[in-house]
Structure 1
């Protein structure tokens, strides 16, 4: 007998979580099924809406000003600005008190661990004192045993961007002896616990501040790699700021990302609060069709194939990077429902000659109608009760546009709301 629910969401990333919460708020019984651990823990924790146009213009001051001019088929063009605003509003509610940026439609400019400046719509409060629009000089601090952040190099790159402040970088040895390749969570936990150094009364936070203070040289703010606490990040930053005598901020890092892990924790807590049933580690391996609808999907659970039936389904499994799309020398496929993926028949037309140029494969994905139902090659919805959201969608290049999180929020909200309304 099939396990039944009103709405079944396949995929546990930002789009899937947003869809599940939106559907649940319509009164639907929702189940989220995800095979792999969410990719949020590998993301920077920044939420981009639109940093650059598809033609490369930018960085954009206000992403909403550019949405109406996006080409037909772009996910934002499919759902409209209201869905973008609603997706952001839901995110703001879920992350209340831990993220900044909701006071304006304009992008903020956030320095990254590589010394670039990223236009983004929402950013962790831990990064707020580091914005590139702030004219105060900044000292960037890296740790000897944390190779993911070369503070002197990042400061040099920031200087080349024309940012309106002077940035310097220094690398120090963390005040606690560590292994050759410690995890980012190791730094965070030591700062959370703040135990005495070498049996003394001086805690880790004060010891670190004393190491940094001698390099301050008039800087009014200090940027650390994003490892400043997991359980008590605000307390860690506040103590460091007091001991150093300057504002303290975190610089977003590459994977594994502590801000991403913090965000994942809040989102999964929101799923629980919304009453969503969550099942991870079990892949969807097939489905049954009944005319123009998906009748059920088959989930592999500890070697057994179990049918799950729903009134409505949302596909949010990710793109090529997240393995929501399969690819080989024969082509690109959507592996769960076998949805149509438009692609040139000649593989040499999948990419451009310039390594950093325009590559068509970056825009491969499911083509949706305005209700986000995947369509076939003729433009007809493949299933009446299936919608797609997030990176599995095509017709946009999230990496070049800096639009990945925004598309996930907007399409997840739109797909989940429609699915929930139709299922109840």
Structure 2
């Protein structure tokens, strides 16, 4: 027996979650299916809109001003500036621990590599570290957490010309965690403020960490740590450290696995639950029925193919990295509905000989009509009831533009809204 819904979203990343939330809040019966856990665990937790133009100009001060001048093939041109703003409004309501809604201007947020990323929304945990402030910064790394080289990151920030002095130190984390300890282990110790052994005696983890850092401080007004400062009580951990240090405390966004990304995932799943959407993760969509209109998809579960039917579908499976777009030696393709992905016949034209050149593969993805329905090689919709959102879309280079989260939000919102409206 088929599992039925009005809107079925395929994909559990930011675009899929946003599509499902937008459709559910419009009153649709929504089901989200995803092969893997949300990709937000691999994300920094920063939400960009547009940091650089396709020509490399930037960092942009106001991303919204630049959107009308983007190429017509860009997803932002498809949905329009108003949809970008509406999507951010939906995000702001769902993720209430984020800042940046007070202005159209990009914030400049230091990252664990010592770069400065233009971003439209950022977690409260990163707010004290904004690069636009002129107060000096001490970056603190942990010996057992090798992904964050604080002295190197500080040197890169200085070289980037930030308006403050940055210095980095590396200290042992209280409790002598192993080098392969999960980031959640650091967070748990600080959440619970559990006792840790320091020089033969037990001390609360937060106090032990602050006191160790105080031996390294040289009057810096801000102290930045890798993004492991708690999970269940992240705000309490930062407040405790700030009081003990006598300085503002912030988290530096990290690579995967990312606690800010996991916190954002929790917030969005909570919002989906509140909106009444159903969610299934861990099982892939492997086939579909229909021609011109998708009648049902099949979810593989424990060796069986379970039919799922819906009036409307949203494809939000990711791009080349997320396996939402696949390639072999002969072609580039979308594996769920076999939607057309434009690409050169000669695969040597898919990339540039210069490692930092203009690579076609960076813009691979399905193309859509104005309603976000994937189109064939003639520009006609392949399915009347399928819309695409997020990194599965082509026509933009999210890595170079710093636009990945914004495109996922805007197209996810527009696709979910259109799918819900089409069920009426």
Residue aligned with 1:202, SS:
strand
- The Cα of 1:200 is off from its aligned counterpart by 5.5
Matching residue of 1:222: 223
Matching residue of 1:334: 334
* Matched-pair contact (CA < 8 Å) for 2:145–2:179: no
Matching residue of 2:407: 407
Distance 1:364 1:196 in 2: 51
Distance 2:177 2:77 in 1: 50
1:247 aligns with 2:243: no
Give CA-to-partner distance per residue, 1:1-20, whole Å, 9 cap, x none: 32111001000100001001
1:416 aligns with 2:416: yes
Residue aligned with 2:69, SS:
coil
Note the 1:196-235 alignment, pairs <5 A.
196-198=195-197, 202-235=203-236
Matching residue of 2:372: 372
Residue aligned with 2:28, SS:
coil
Matching residue of 1:22: 22
Matching residue of 1:109: 108
Distance 1:65 1:282 in 2: 41
Note the 1:100-139 alignment, pairs <5 A.
100-139=99-138
Residue aligned with 1:211, SS:
helix
- The Cα of 1:196 is off from its aligned counterpart by 2.5
Q: When the two structures are aligned, how many residues end up with a matched partner?
A: 422
Distance 1:179 1:13 in 2: 31
Note the 1:266-285 alignment, pairs <5 A.
266-285=267-286
- The Cα of 1:403 is off from its aligned counterpart by 0.2
Q: Which runs of 5+ in 1 are unaligned?
A: none
Distance 1:321 1:93 in 2: 29
- The Cα of 1:110 is off from its aligned counterpart by 0.3
Distance 1:410 1:140 in 2: 34
- The Cα of 1:358 is off from its aligned counterpart by 1.1
1:32 aligns with 2:32: yes
Residue aligned with 2:161, SS:
coil
Distance 2:277 2:356 in 1: 41
- The Cα of 1:218 is off from its aligned counterpart by 1.2
Distance 2:176 2:345 in 1: 56
* Matched-pair contact (CA < 8 Å) for 2:129–2:222: yes
1:287 aligns with 2:258: no
Distance 1:343 1:201 in 2: 61
Distance 2:194 2:88 in 1: 39
* Matched-pair contact (CA < 8 Å) for 2:138–2:222: yes
TM-score, normalised on structure 2?
0.98
* Matched-pair contact (CA < 8 Å) for 2:106–2:120: yes
Matching residue of 1:42: 42
Matching residue of 1:13: 13
Distance 1:126 1:340 in 2: 41
Residue aligned with 1:371, SS:
coil
Residue aligned with 2:102, SS:
coil
Matching residue of 1:311: 311
Note the 1:62-81 alignment, pairs <5 A.
62-81=62-81
Give CA-to-partner distance per residue, 1:395-422, whole Å, 9 cap, x none: 0000000000000000000000010011
Note the 1:186-205 alignment, pairs <5 A.
186-198=185-197, 202-205=203-206
* Matched-pair contact (CA < 8 Å) for 2:111–2:254: yes
Residue aligned with 2:112, SS:
coil
List structure 1 segments (4+ residues) > 3 angstroms apart after TM superposition.
Answer: 197-202
RMSD: 1.0
- The Cα of 1:202 is off from its aligned counterpart by 3.2
* Matched-pair contact (CA < 8 Å) for 2:146–2:179: no
Give CA-to-partner distance per residue, 1:288-321, whole Å, 9 cap, x none: 114x211111111111111111110000000000
1:89 aligns with 2:52: no
